[in-house]
Amino acid sequence: MTPSWRKPAGVLAILALITIWAVMVASMSDLVGGLHWAVQAMFYLVTGIVWITPMRPLLSWMETGRWR
C-alpha cells in the first residue's frame, strides 16, 4: 500500500483551522471582555465547541477520500 497524501494534508488543514479560529476568537476579546462574566463564559464555551463541527467531514475525508 502506498501512503495517502490526504492524512498529512488533513493534519495541516486541522492545524490551520485551529489557528484561524483561535485568532478570530482572541481578536474578539476586547468586545467580550466588557460583558457580564456569565455571557463571557457562554461565549467561550460556545466558541470552544463550535470549531469541532468541521472536523468530522475533514476526518472522514482523511480516512476514506469522501466528504460523507
DSSP string over 1-12: -PPPSHHHHHHH
Residue 54 has pLDDT above 90, yes or no: no
Residue found under cell 474578539: 28
CA distance 68 to 66: 6
Give the dihedral sign, CA 16/19/22/24.
negative
Q: What is the pLDDT of residues 6-39, one digit of tens each?
A: 999 999 999 999 999 999 999 999 999 999 999 9
pLDDT of residue 1: 67
The pTM score is: 0.77
